[in-house]
């Protein structure tokens, strides 16, 4: 029971309270780059959920069964990024072959997922927070779901905003940042929920 | 074929050189990092048990605690406690003297709201010139330990104040369990 | 390009943060105070300059097809070095910057410069490019840090300017970062218009 409660609080903390995009500021390049269309946001959101779960599982195993026992902790940064880069390549091949429509809509952003710092950050944080394997997976799922939900909401807002009369100076990225600020303000409201 | 071999060899050479130089940096900086860690623990423990000259680390039921020694006698105990703060757990160290009174508190790590809850670190609480956590000194297991009752709350941060109270209460309880 | 152009390019015309929209994550996350922003700038500069230097030095012997993995190895080596050095000699700063130190490895500024510039240019040009880009990044990061620290905490580099009761705490909370960048970009638009 206690364990279920613990996993639940890890999930919600990752999903809403410490939202990866709005509160932790990770993965922002793709966030602003890709969020002007609804479909690409859906594609990116699912890709991030998929890659983040797998890369968390693999990097956790790599650290706890190879790097730590062999005292090679100093290779953590290098090995994690290489493993994640390889995983993303595999995923790219798979999507290209089996889901060509999705592949076209994602354009150049799929290779960029390698340098999506959110993926690597979650791999590091799983180690820093001393999470067990299950906790890591729950954490990765919460984080990536938070990413997907926020990027979708944001794309929805930006699509509607494209027809709004915005002062010339603020058109484009400036207004996007200010929108993000207001969303972040709303997300701060989750902070003390769930007794955490 | 020849090309592939060439790639593998080049890549391996790069990996080996990189790993080698990293190992060198690691071996070179590790003693300093460990020394810093030890020094920080020492500083924290001596700040919550005034007068401790020596520190003994002990572990009972997975709970690490530190005994402050002076002239070969134990003068107090420092217990780690991690109450739930406003946005994340607060890590703190509570020093308790031989009589069971709080002798000092050190906040080791916290992620409270900057400007509000993060003021649990303040060294000048409401212009008194004393740290916020100093008001816990002298409290014991019988104290109420509640914001706005026997503890002055931080402006706009009652939850963080109560979190520190909770941490002190847990430490006092643990102390009764591990030692008469 | 002349040496001077290499140097100035990164500061103005191709300023990484405001123009190229890269390196956003650390910019937003660590700019809560001037000193954190400065620390992050120095760590990033160290990695960028040395990665550029070594890539330019080795560019003749790196095969084209495996250049990306080699770049990743070079960059992550310097990231890990700065990680350990900061941990050993500036522990407070290390704690404040947290997971963003190892994440320098996925800062698009670095891989981007290594791939687009250092791989094709001589050592001196590449080093100057690294210094210029680092300066461009540092100037933006530090100005955002200074703005947020003054408005949000009423201090500058820890020196009190006015009573914290008058400060808008929201500026050092996550939304403040988005607002600051949004307005800075609008300001840049404004300045640009006057030029034309």
Structure confidence by residue, pLDDT tens digits, C154-183: 888 878 888 777 888 888 888 999 999 999
Return the closest-CA partner of residue B120 out of B129, A5, B111, C76. B111
- What pLDDT sits at residue C196? 42
- What pLDDT sits at residue A60? 94
CA distance B88 to chain A (A): 7
DSSP state of B108: E
Rounded to whole angstroms, the Cα distance separating C43 from C102 reads 10
Write down the H helix ranges in A130-172.
133-161
- What pLDDT sits at residue A142? 94
DSSP state of A108: T
More confident residue, B52 or A145: A145
The residue segments making up the domain with residue B129 are 47-178
Q: Do B84 and A196 touch (CB under 8 A)?
A: yes
- What pLDDT sits at residue C80? 93
Instruction: Lowest mean pLDDT of A98-107, A156-165, B71-80, C164-173, name the range.
Output: A98-107
- What pLDDT sits at residue A63? 93
Residue B180 pLDDT greater than 60, yes or no:
no
Counted domains in chain B: 1
Nearest CA in chain A to B24: A74
Q: Which tokens is C59 given?
A: 């560019």
Q: Do C87 and B114 touch (CB under 8 A)?
A: no
Residue B97 maps to a domain: yes
More confident residue, A195 or A100: A100
Which pLDDT tens digit goes with each residue over C72-126?
A: 899 999 999 999 999 899 888 888 888 888 888 888 788 888 988 899 999 999 9
- What pLDDT sits at residue B82? 86
Q: What is the mean pLDDT of residues A56-66?
A: 93
Residue B89 maps to a domain: yes
CB-based burial label for B113 (10 Å; 0-12, 13-18, 19+): buried
Residue B4 maps to a domain: no
Cβ-based contacts of C169 with chain B (< 8 Å):
113-116
3 state SS of B73:
strand
How large is the angle between the packed helices A38-62 and A76-98, nearest 10 degrees?
Answer: 140
- Of all residues in chain B, the percent with pLDDT exceeding 70 is 97
More confident residue, C167 or C38: C38
- What pLDDT sits at residue C13? 67
Instruction: Lowest mean pLDDT of A168-172, C55-59, C132-136, name the range.
Output: A168-172
DSSP state of A15: I
Write down the H helix ranges in chain C.
3-9, 24-29, 34-58, 67-89, 91-97, 108-113, 123-153, 174-195
More confident residue, C189 or B133: B133
Which pLDDT tens digit goes with each residue over B22-62?
A: 999 999 999 999 898 888 888 888 888 888 788 888 877 77
Residue A106 pLDDT greater than 70, yes or no:
no
Q: Do B87 and A18 touch (CB under 8 A)?
A: yes
Residue B72 maps to a domain: yes
Which pLDDT tens digit goes with each residue over B119-177?
A: 888 887 877 778 888 889 888 888 888 888 888 888 878 888 989 999 999 888 888 88
Residue A196 pLDDT greater than 50, yes or no:
no
Residue B83 maps to a domain: yes
Rounded to whole angstroms, the Cα distance separating B160 from B20 reads 46
Q: Which tokens is C117 given?
A: 């510039």
Residue B10 maps to a domain: no
Residue B124 maps to a domain: yes
Residue C8 pLDDT greater than 80, yes or no:
no
Nearest CA in chain A to B163: A196
Cβ-based contacts of B88 with chain A (< 8 Å):
13, 196
- What pLDDT sits at residue A137? 95
Q: What band does B71 get if pLDDT is binned at 50, 70 and 90?
A: confident
């Amino acid at each position: 029971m206690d364990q279920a409660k613990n996993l639940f609080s890890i999930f919600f903390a990752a999903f809403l309270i410490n939202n990866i995009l709005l509160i932790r500021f990770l993965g922002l390049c793709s966030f602003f780059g890709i969020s002007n269309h609804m479909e690409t946001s859906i594609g990116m959101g699912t890709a991030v959920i998929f890659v983040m779960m797998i890369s968390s599982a693999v990097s956790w195993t790599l650290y706890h069964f190879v790097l730590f026992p062999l005292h090679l902790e100093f290779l953590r940064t290098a090995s994690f990024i290489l493993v994640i880069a390889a995983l993303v390549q595999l995923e790219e091949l798979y999507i290209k072959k089996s889901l060509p429509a999705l592949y076209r809509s994602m354009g150049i952003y799929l290779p960029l997922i390698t340098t999506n710092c959110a993926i690597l950050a979650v791999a590091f944080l799983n180690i820093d927070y001393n999470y067990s394997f299950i906790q890591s997976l729950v954490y990765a799922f919460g984080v990536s779901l938070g990413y997907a939900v926020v990027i979708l909401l944001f794309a929805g807002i930006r699509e509607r905003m494209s027809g709004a009369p915005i002062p010339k100076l603020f058109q484009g990225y400036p207004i996007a940042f200010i929108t993000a600020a207001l969303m972040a303000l709303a997300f701060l409201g989750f902070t003390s929920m769930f007794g955490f | 074929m020849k090309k592939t071999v060439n790639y593998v060899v080049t890549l391996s050479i790069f990996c080996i050189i990189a790993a080698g130089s990293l190992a060198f940096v690691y071996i070179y900086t590790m003693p300093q990092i460990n020394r810093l860690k030890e020094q920080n623990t020492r500083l924290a423990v001596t700040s919550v048990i005034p007068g401790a000259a020596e520190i003994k680390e002990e572990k009972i039921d997975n709970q690490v605690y530190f005994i402050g020694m002076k002239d070969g006698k134990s003068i107090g105990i420092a217990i780690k406690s991690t109450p739930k703060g406003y946005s994340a757990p607060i890590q703190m160290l509570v020093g308790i003297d031989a009589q069971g009174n709080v002798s000092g508190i050190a906040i080791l790590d916290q992620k409270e709201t900057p400007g509000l809850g993060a003021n649990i670190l303040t060294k000048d609480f409401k212009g008194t010139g004393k740290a916020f956590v100093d008001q816990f000194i002298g409290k014991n297991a019988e104290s109420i330990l509640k914001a706005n009752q026997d503890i002055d709350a931080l402006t706009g941060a009652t939850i963080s104040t109560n979190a520190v109270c909770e941490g002190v209460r847990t430490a006092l309880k643990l102390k009764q369990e591990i030692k008469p | 390009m002349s040496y001077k152009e290499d140097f100035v390019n990164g500061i103005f015309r191709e300023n990484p943060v405001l123009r190229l929209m890269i390196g956003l994550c650390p910019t937003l996350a660590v700019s809560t105070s001037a000193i954190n922003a400065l620390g992050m700038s120095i760590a990033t500069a160290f990695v960028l300059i040395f990665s550029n230097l070594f890539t330019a030095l080795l560019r003749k012997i790196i095969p084209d097809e495996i250049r990306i993995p080699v770049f990743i190895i070079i960059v992550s080596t310097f990231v890990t070095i700065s990680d350990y050095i900061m941990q050993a000699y500036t522990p407070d700063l290390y704690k404040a910057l947290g997971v963003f130190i190892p994440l320098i490895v996925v800062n698009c500024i670095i891989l981007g410069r290594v791939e687009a510039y250092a791989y094709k240019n001589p050592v001196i040009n590449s080093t100057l490019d690294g210094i210029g880009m680092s300066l461009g990044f540092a100037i933006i990061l530090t100005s955002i840090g200074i703005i947020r620290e003054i408005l949000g905490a009423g201090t500058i580099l820890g020196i009190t300017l006015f009573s914290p009761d008058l400060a808008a705490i929201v500026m050092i909370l996550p939304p403040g970062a988005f607002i600051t960048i949004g307005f800075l970009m609008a300001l840049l638009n404004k300045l640009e218009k006057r030029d034309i």
